[in-house]
Amino acid sequence: MTRKLRSNFPRGSYLWAVRNAQWQALGIPEDDCEKPKIAIVNSSSSLAACFAHLDGVAAVVKEAIRAAGAVPFEIRTAAPSDFVIGAGGRGGYILSTRDLVTNDIEVAVEGAQLDGMICLTSCDKTVPGQMMAAGRLNVPTLMLACGYQPSGEYEGEHVDIEDVFVGAMHAQMGHMPMDRLIGMSRNAIRGPGVCSGMGTANSMHICCEALGMALPGTTPVAANSEAMFDAARRAGQRIVEMVWEDLKPRDILKPAAFANAVKTILSVGGSVNSIKHLQAVATEAGCGADVYGMFERFSHEVPVLAAVRPVGHHVIETFEAAGGARALMKQLEPLLDTGALTVTGRTLGENLAGARVDDPEVIRPIDDPIARKPAIMMLRGSLAPEYGIVKTGIVERKTRRFSGPAICFATSDAAIAALQSGDIRPGHVVVMRGAGVCGGPGMGGGSSKVVFAIDGAGLGDQVALITDGHLSGLVCKGLVVAEVSPEGAVCGPLALVQDGDTIVIDLDTQRCDLEVDEAETARRRAAWTPAPKLCDTGWLQLYRRNVGPLTQGAVLVEPR
């Protein structure tokens, strides 16, 4: 199978000559320079366990690509780990680096006119960043999940990174001994890979398969397992075939594929961060999919079929052993568009043929779900004219309507100090604003810390929280309305709330409202002045000035 490759230039031309000189110096024979040239997108880093093993994965993929008759070129991108790079810029580097990854890839792959790419997916922002690049560049691309980390045990109990995150805030509130927190932190992670719960990373890995951008049966997977390395070898072979077939991301990333991904995430109670990331991929792919609208529309149609921590009690290893994403989609098949094309060159329905569920108690059938009510809900109202997002989980809530006086904060530190001093009391609606994509910038601001601090203070069922910030994919506690849009920094309604105003959150009507009359709201809007700009230098300044709204995925490009 042959076709003209965009990476090849006429023999003897300037570009041919200088590239040939560079590659000869790297030990690439001249004949190989005519073969398909495949980028291996690697975010390897020794800063975090998420990325520590990726060089070993890249080596296996390189070997497979060479065996399939192509030339691999490893390229590097930024490596955002929430728990490490969240220390600077008020946490603004966490989300914003997603778009930096996209642009890193564009520079290398588009600049060099490479023919295709395999993306080594790891921590949660690299996954959408890589798929956004795939949608933008539209060269044959295959996503390879590089696995979750093994969690540990402490004092005879399971412990993982979620427990450490929650525990840290409980300790700060004085409700956990410091020695126990230290012991948990030393035992929570026993090897490389992403967070072991159904947080954003594993949710996005599953999205890759549900979208048709990963080989079937490859998510989730334990890092450095034989299953992961087998997938790496198969991916190396398949990407070369995809280049010759000219099978491109925009052939796959159609609205039907996004609908499949949305339904799959709803069925596993996945991370709410999947919403903005999938929307960003759709925006970059120019396919017109309204992911926010899909989550709103499908949330009451799709039952919860699997419940992995933190939504349920199962661990990710149990979910993988039960069949993982492929088995989940097999159970969900009646609700999916099985005609959607995938990286195999076959449809989703063809990929699911023969799929089996090894444990129907872990991955339930549609007619016997874990929960019929949605684990993720989209709210609207006077406080959230576009959207606010609630991770409802699978536990039936005693209170589905919460009404109380607002108590407002501009930083997580101020909110936590108010908890410690007793200023936040039962019945309050805590308002955290200025933490959106512009105000954060990059949705920094520590909303998740406040959620866990409220839980640590013993107020989880007695107060509500509403914020324009985002939540860690590991958050599933209390009544929290997150990612309220438009955000406060652009004079969204959240900016106009004052202490003592009554806020009503109603899950049954899916509304979130400020009970202040229109005349008073107009007066406040006319008097509003923006807060001083934060992070007014470097990358975060560029991000803040150019980022689009959440409903377009908070991308740095104009929507098509």
Alpha helices in 289-431 (DSSP H): 291-298, 316-321, 324-332, 348-352, 412-421
Name the pairing type of β-strands 401-409 and 502-506.
antiparallel
The CA distance from 540 to 424, in Å, is: 32
Asked if 341 and 322 count as a contact pair (C-beta separation under 8 A), the reply is no
DSSP 107: I
Asked if 249 and 171 count as a contact pair (C-beta separation under 8 A), the reply is no
Give the gyration radius of the chain's Cα atoms.
Answer: 23
185 is an active site residue = no
**How distant, in Å, are the alpha carbons of 47, 94, 296, 372, 510 from that of 150?**
18, 23, 34, 31, 38
Asked if 198 and 309 count as a contact pair (C-beta separation under 8 A), the reply is yes
The CA distance from 144 to 55, in Å, is: 13
Q: Other C-beta atoms within 10 Å of 275: how many?
A: 25
Q: What is the full DSSP assignment across 222-274?
A: BTT-HHHHHHHHHHHHHHHHHHHHT--HHHH-SHHHHHHHHHHHHHHT--THH
3-state helix, strand, coil in the chain (%, to 5): 40, 15, 40
Out of 81, 151, 472, 485, pick the active-site residue. Answer: 472
The CA distance from 430 to 41, in Å, is: 41
The CA distance from 444 to 438, in Å, is: 10
Write the CB contacts of 185 (distance below 8 Å, at least 6 apart in sequence). Answer: 164
* Residue 400 three-state SS: coil
For residue 201, which of 233, 242, 160 has the smallest C-alpha distance?
Answer: 160
Write the CB contacts of 427 (distance below 8 Å, at least 6 apart in sequence). Answer: 404, 405, 462, 463
Asked if 560 and 548 count as a contact pair (C-beta separation under 8 A), the reply is no
Name the pairing type of β-strands 157-159 and 464-467.
unpaired
Write the CB contacts of 557 (distance below 8 Å, at least 6 apart in sequence). Answer: 136, 283, 284, 548
Reading across the β-sheet that carries 141-145, which strands appear in turn? 71-76, 37-42, 116-121, 141-145
> What is the set of active-site residues?
472
